[in-house]
A and B are shown apart, each in its own frame.
Chain A
Amino acid sequence: MIKLYSLKQHKKDGETPKSGNQRKASAAHLRITKDLNELTLPKTCTTEFPDPDDLLNFKLTICPDEGSYKGGKFNFSFKVGVNYPHEPPKVKCETTVYHPNIDLDGNVCLNILREDWKPVLTINSVIYGLQYLFLEPNPEDPLNKEAADVLQNNKRLFDMNVQKAMRGGVIGNTYFEKCLK
C-alpha cells in the first residue's frame, strides 16, 4: 500500500508539475491506428478518409467482381466511437441497394456489427464481412423482406432486379439510383 497521508504532506499546493507530460493517446486511437495500418483490403475494396487527421470517420467502397452484384459500386460510412474496440464501429450503407440484408435506409444486418462483436475483431474483419454479404446475400434473416422473398423463390428474377437497380430503376415502389462502377 502506498503511504498517501505521509507522502502527500510533502506535496505542496502550487508546486509546478513536470512539464512535457502529454496526455496519453486513447485506447480507441491506439487500436484504430493499428487496425488501419494493417488493413489488407481485398482488391474489390477501397477506403477514403475525408480528413486524414480523423482516423475515426471514413468511407469504404466495395466493387464486387463476382456474384449478383458484379459491376456495382457501394459506399459505406464508418464511425468509430471512443469506446472502440469494446464497441463495434457504426457502419451504414450510403448507396441505396436492393439487398436482402441491407434496408433502404442503409442499415446493415451483419452479426459482427451488433450482437456478435468482440474486441478482438478489427476493421478488416468488418470489411470482409461486408464484402461477403455481396457474394452471398442471405435470405433467411432479411432486413429487406421483399428482396429476400424474391431471392428465395426466384434466383433469376432476383439477379435481374439487382441488375435493374444497379443501372438505376424502379423495383416495387422504390427508385434505385444508378451505382455501376
Chain B
Amino acid sequence: MCDNDHRRWNHLKKILERSSPFCHPDFEPGTGILEFLQNSCKLLVVGAGGLGCELLKDLAMMGFGDVHVIDMDTIDLSNLNRQFLFRRKDVNSSKAEVAAKFINERVPTCRVTPHHCKIQDKSEDFYRNFHFVVCGLDSVVARRWINGMLISLLSYDDNQQLDNSTVIPLIDGGTEGFKGNVRVIIPGITPCIDCTLDLFPPQVTYPLCTIASTPRLPEHCIEYVKLIQWPKENPFDSNIDTDDPVHISWIYEKSLERADEFGINGVNYRLVQGVIKNIIPAVASTNAVIAAACVTEAFKVATSCCPLLNNYAVFNNADGIYTYTYEAERKSDCITCSPRKAKYLDIDDTNMRLEKIIEILCEHQQYQMKNPALTIELDGKRKTLYMPNVPSIELKTRPNLKMTLEQLGIADGCKLLVADITNPRAFEIILKIKNNCVSME
C-alpha cells in the first residue's frame, strides 16, 4: 500500500487494529484484516438497483476490494430518483455494468466485476466462489432462489456435522417506501428466508367475480382490463408490456371507461401504472439506511470486529424513526433448510435397473416405502423416472423400470427426488454407487 492508501484507511484501521471490550472473542486486531478485505475477501452483491447502488458504494468505502454484482435489468428513467450511480445518459444500459464502472472509477481501491444476467444463469461453482453474499432485491422469488442456492452448497461430513467451510453467509435487505428490513442468515445455522416466509406481506388479490361483476374500487376496473379485457381484445397482438406507454395508455383508457360505466371515481394514470406494474414506492433515504445496515453487518461478518445482528431488524421512519431487532427462529420443518440428515442409498453398480431401486426403497430398513414416485435432475433438466399413481405418466415412464441406471444417465452422487405416502413431504436421496462405471472396465 502506498502512503496515501495507508492514511486513506485511518478510520477503518482504528477499528481493526485496536481491541475493545465489545469485539467478538475471535477478533485479533492487526493489519491482516484490512489486508484480507482489500485482497482476499470476495463477495457478491445481488441486485444493482436502489439497494444495490448503495451497497456497492458502502462496500467500496468500507475497504472491500473484490466485489461482484449481478443484475439482469437495464436502467429506467424512474430509477434516477435513488439509483445514484446512474445518469440520464445511462438509461437502457445494463445496471450491473454502469454501476461497476462508476465505483471502479470513483474508488480505485475496489474492483467491481459486473454480471449482466439472471441469477439463475449462474452455476453452483459461481456462487461457491464467494465468502458471502449481500442481497438487495425487490422480489421474493429471487430471494428464495439465492437462499436455496446457498443452502444447497452446504456439505455435511459422515457424522452429519456441518462443514463450516461450505457456509456462505447471506445478508439480506429489503425496502418498501419508508419501511425496510435487514437480516443476517448463516445458512444451516440461523433461520433462512423460507423459515420466515410469512414475514412477507401477502400480495393483494381481488376475487375474480368482484372484478367481473361488482367492481367498487378503481383497482377493480384496472384489474378487469388487465385480466379479462386485454386477453379478449388482444389490442396489440401481444402480452401486456408494462414498459410500453402505448399499452399502459390503452389500459388507462379502458379502465376509465369501465369506471365511468359503474360510477367509480379515482382511476388515474399513476394508479393504472401502479396496479399494472405492481409498483412499490421507493425513496433514496430508506435505501441508504437499509443498505448501510447491511454493509455494517457485512463488515462485521468479514472482520469479526464486533458481534453480528442477531438476526433480524426492521426499520420504519414514517412516524419518527423506529427500529426493532429480534431473533427470528428456525422452522424445524423448513422445507429448505431444516437440519434433516442427508439421506443416502448405497447401490452396487450402475447396471442396476430402476425397478430394483424401487424394490430396495420399499424393503430398506430406513425407508420402507409403499409406492414411491421418483424424479431426478439430469443436465439441468428435471426428468420423471417413474410415477405410479398418475396413470398417464405411469404409462409413459413404465419402460424406465427395465432400464439400468447407466442407461438412464444416473451416476454416483445424483439426487433422487422421492415422494411417497409414508412421508409427509417429498425429499431427496443421494445415490452412493460403489462401482460407478462397470461397463467401462
Contact = CB atoms under 8 A, between A and B. Distances in A.
Q: Is the interface of B mostly helix, strand, loop or mixed?
A: mixed
Contact of B153 (A21, A30, A34, A55): A21
Interface string B315-331: 00000000000000000
A175 to B, nearest CB: 15
B148 A27 contact: yes
A25 B381 CA distance: 11
Contacts, number: 193
B59 to A, nearest CB: 15
A36 interface: yes
A105 to B, nearest CB: 5
Contacts of A48: 392
Interface in B148-176: 148-149, 151-153, 155, 164-165, 167, 169
Nearest to B212: A143
A30 B425 contact: yes
Interface band, chain A: 35 or more
B390 A101 contact: no
B14 to A, nearest CB: 18
Chain B, interface residues (CB within 8 Å), range: 35 or more
Interface in B24-65: 24, 26, 28, 33, 36, 40-42
A2 B391 CA distance: 50
B377 A7 contact: no
Q: Tell me the interface secondary structure of chain A in the complex.
A: loop
Given A25-B417, A33-B417, A34-B419, A18 B155 contact: yes
Nearest to B431: A20
A170 interface: no
Interface stretch (B4-12, B100-108, B225-233): B225-233
B13 interface: no
B200 to A, nearest CB: 9
A25 to B, nearest CB: 5
Contact of A53 (B165, B231, B383, B430): B383
Contact of A37 (B231, B420, B427): B420
Given A6-B304, A52-B397, 17 more contacts: A5-B302, A8-B41, A22-B377, A24-B152, A31-B335, A36-B419, A46-B391, A48-B392, A49-B396, A53-B382, A54-B382, A83-B144, A86-B197, A107-B208, A109-B209, A141-B207, A142-B209
Interface of A: 1-11, 13, 17-27, 29-31, 33-34, 36-39, 46-49, 52-55, 82-83, 86, 101, 103, 105, 107-109, 111, 114-115, 141-143, 145, 148
